[in-house]
Structure 1
Amino acid sequence: MISTRDNQRIEIEIKDVSKVFEGRTGPNVALETVNLNLMQNEFVSVVGPSGCGKTTLLNIIAGLLEPTTGSVRVGGKEVRGPGEGKGVVFQQYALFPWMTVQKNVEFGLKLKNISPQERKEIAASYIELVGLKDFGNAYPKELSGGMKQRVAIARAYAARPDVLLMDEPFGALDAQTRAQLQENLLNTWEKEKKTCFFITHDVEEAVLLAQRVILMSARPGRIKEIIDIQLPYPRSQQLKVTKEYNDIKNALWSKVYEEYLDHMK
């Protein structure tokens, strides 16, 4: 499908998506009539109160959950399961502890039946891209949390998906490591230009990374507002000291906090 905006292709099309979970006390509406388009190579961050359905929406896009109503299309094809050009990075690293960094990054390529030599070369290039060139033969237990998450990101990129889905990938990291990985992700995205759907609770992070920020309402999750982030790339942590950044961050924080207060009523 082609967008009328700058002739970009719609990479992710979310149409009338609702999700209801059946619980012991009755139905639990996690998402209600969500409509959203992400353009090819666009970076979008998603924020909102805890329990607003952000992760549920990501899992539906990833094909890990089915919507109760509505549909999701990625690259023009309806999502009917995992894979299909989608890479997922979760907060927990989900690395295979018995595999080296090199073998972890090669894993998705092996599933695609890529030859051993080619997958070795591809994996090595992405390991270098995330700054772990000297750790290809290390095992996960030998790595810090930030290094493990870089391996997870390299593995997702190495499979060459059109879409990268990230669920609070830096949420468990200390502030310094988080800042480093934010810049690393920005640099990688600017080189690779994937469509990124990035969930975060951190308003500063959302504004630093994204071209648009999606604010979701409290449960049931709906899209309350879409904020265009008019800040130029390339971006770095230095952006955080500028008036332009802080004006956007503070305005977004007020909206998020207002939604949180509504949720607590």
Structure 2
Amino acid sequence: MAGNPCSMKVRAKVKIDNVKKVFAGRNGETVALNGVNFNIEENEFICVVGPSGCGKSTLLNIIAGLEEPTEGKVYVDDKEVKGTGAERGVVFQQYALFPWLTVRKNIEFGLKLKNLRQDEIDRITKRYLDMVDLKEFAESYPKELSGGMKQRVAIARAYAVNPKVLLMDEPFGALDAQSRTQLQSELLKTWEEERKTCFFITHDVDEAIILAQRVVIMSARPGRVKEVVDVDITYPRTQETKMTKKFLELKRYIWGNVYQEYLAVRK
């Protein structure tokens, strides 16, 4: 059931090479990550799970270029990550929309930074408004949208600039169960069409299995890769997939490993 954390098929899209992160605080140093190694292949959908405080978000921030590793390196297409870059799109749990811009203008924002012609911006924006089913709300402001709709705008904005890698930090974590289920289905549909390389953090084991090709289980702090589990369930996946024997077996196995790490934190 488990995969090899350091396996390479041909060339990794993202290579995480012996990453360590130490934070200095008033009470001394905290080692958030220690010796993290794994690769993400081209077009692969990876989900990362683990107990709170195991460094999942820290690792995402390092891949995004928002944090620097204390030791080790991250590569995208064999180029070392040095700061942020347009080839990496990020979607956070808190939506991070510009409240003074309409839905359309929020999606256009990154496109304007690329100095595209307005007709090209209009074409791309329309495509992603349609993709997330928000064309009727194109002129609305974020305060007029539900939480699920805001997150769909954030996803459309990230996709619109055509990043090579999409980094998602619990993007559905603050949503109600119905909105979460809907967005999981929409994200799966979009990924099957676009085939972006995705790195997705979640606390929800069900969510990890329904979305991912592989699930990375992180150990309790200091975070390391405890195991990488292959999700050998064919796409397309639906919410009915969660009722299958294979899904339930994977859920039991992954949750058991995560719970062991949770208990380790409480000792």
What residue in structure 1 maps to residue 244 of structure 2? Answer: 242
Give the AA of the match of 1:38: I
2:119: which partner in 1?
Answer: 117
Partner of 2:146: 144
Q: Which amino acid aligns with 1:211?
A: Q
- The sequence identity of aligned pairs, in percent, is 64
2:14, 2:40 within 8 Å by CA — same for their partners in 1? Answer: yes
Equivalent in the alignment of 1:219: 221
DSSP 3-state at the match of 1:67: coil
How many residue pairs match? The answer is 261
Deviations 1:233-256 (A, max 9, x none): 011111011111111111111111
Distance 2:84 2:40 in 1: 18
Cα distance in 2, alignment partners of residues 187 and 104 from structure 1: 22
Instruction: Tell me the amino acid that sits aligned with residue 47 of structure 1.
Output: V
8 Å contact kept, 2:17–2:38: yes
Matched residues in 1 for 2:249 and 2:135: separation?
Answer: 38
CA contact (8 A) 2:47 2:211 kept: yes
Contact 1:102–1:120 under 8 Å retained in 2: no
The 5 Å alignment of 1:48-63 reads: 48-63=50-65
Q: Report the Cα distance in structure 2 between the residues aligned to 1:113 and 1:249, rounded to whole angstroms.
A: 46
Q: Distance in 1 between matches of 2:136 and 2:52?
A: 38
Q: Please state if 1:76 is matched with 2:78.
A: yes
- Counterpart in the other structure of 1:102: 104
The Cα of 1:84 is off from its aligned counterpart by 3.8
User: Which amino acid in 1 is paired with 2:227?
Assistant: E
1:221 to 1:244, Cα distance in 2 relative to 1, 3 A: same
Equivalent in 9, 14, 17 of residue 16 of structure 2: 14
In the TM superposition, what whole-angstrom CA distance separates every residue of 1:65-102 from its partner, at most 9, and x where no partner exists?
00001100112211101124000000001111111111
Instruction: Tell me the secondary structure at the aligned position of residue 82 of structure 1.
Output: coil
**Contact 1:88 1:165 survives alignment (8 Å):** yes
The answer for unaligned runs of 5 or more in structure 2 is 1-6
The one of 85, 88, 95 aligned to 1:86 = 88
Number of the residue aligned with 1:159: 161
In structure 1, how many angstroms separate the alpha carbons of the residues matched to 2:261 and 2:220? 7
| Distance (whole Å) between structure 1 residues aligned to residue 58 and residue 255 of structure 2 | 22
Quick check: 1:58–1:167 contact (8 Å CA) kept in 2? yes
CA distance in structure 2 between the partners assigned to 1:83 and 1:183 by the alignment: 28
Q: Distance in 1 between matches of 2:8 and 2:264?
A: 36
What secondary structure sits across from 1:95 in the alignment? coil
One-letter code of the match for 1:85? E
- The CA deviation string for residues 122-167 of structure 1, in whole angstroms up to 9 with x for no partner, is 0110111111121111111111100000000000000100000000
TM-score w.r.t. length of structure 2: 0.96
Shift of 1:4: 5.6
- Does 1:23 find its partner at 2:2? no
- Paired with 2:241 and 2:227, the residues of 1 have a C-alpha distance of 24
- Name the residue aligned to 1:179: 181
- Could you tell me how far apart the structure 2 residues matched to 1:171 and 1:215 are? 18
Alignment TM-score, normalising by the size of structure 1: 0.97
Residue pair 1:10, 1:75 contacting (<8 A) in 2 also: yes
- Kindly report the root-mean-square deviation, in angstroms, between the aligned alpha carbons of the 2 structures: 1.0
Conservation of the 8 A alpha-carbon contact between 1:46 and 1:215: yes
Find out whether 1:194 has 2:193 as its counterpart.
no
Aligned to 1:209: 211
5+ long unaligned stretches in structure 1: none
Q: Tell me the distance in 2 between the aligned counterparts of 1:191 and 1:133.
A: 19
SS at match of 2:16: strand
